[in-house]
Amino acid sequence: MGNPYRELFIVPGARIFVAAAFVGRMSMSMVGIGIVLLVSAVTGSYGTAGAVSAM
């Protein structure tokens, strides 16, 4: 069995859709890191930053 994603990328327009979805979801995954970096820079505590990010 080959790569299971190969069948998906054969569909016309699938590559563009996947690329757009990747860019669109990148911001959601960066929110946690951004919160940790912002709070740790302001408070100087990674513990507080982790607690704020977990909330």
- Check residue 2 and give its pLDDT: 66
In this prediction, the residues of the chain whose per-residue pLDDT falls under 50 are: none
Enter the pTM of the model. Answer: 0.57
What is the Cβ-side half-sphere exposure of residue 16, based on CA atoms within 13 angstroms? Answer: 3
d(CA 30, CA 22): 12
DSSP notation for 4-35: THHHHHHSTTHHHHHHHHHHHHHHHHHHHHHH
Residue 8: how many other CB atoms lie within 10 Å:
12
Domain residue ranges in the chain: 28-55
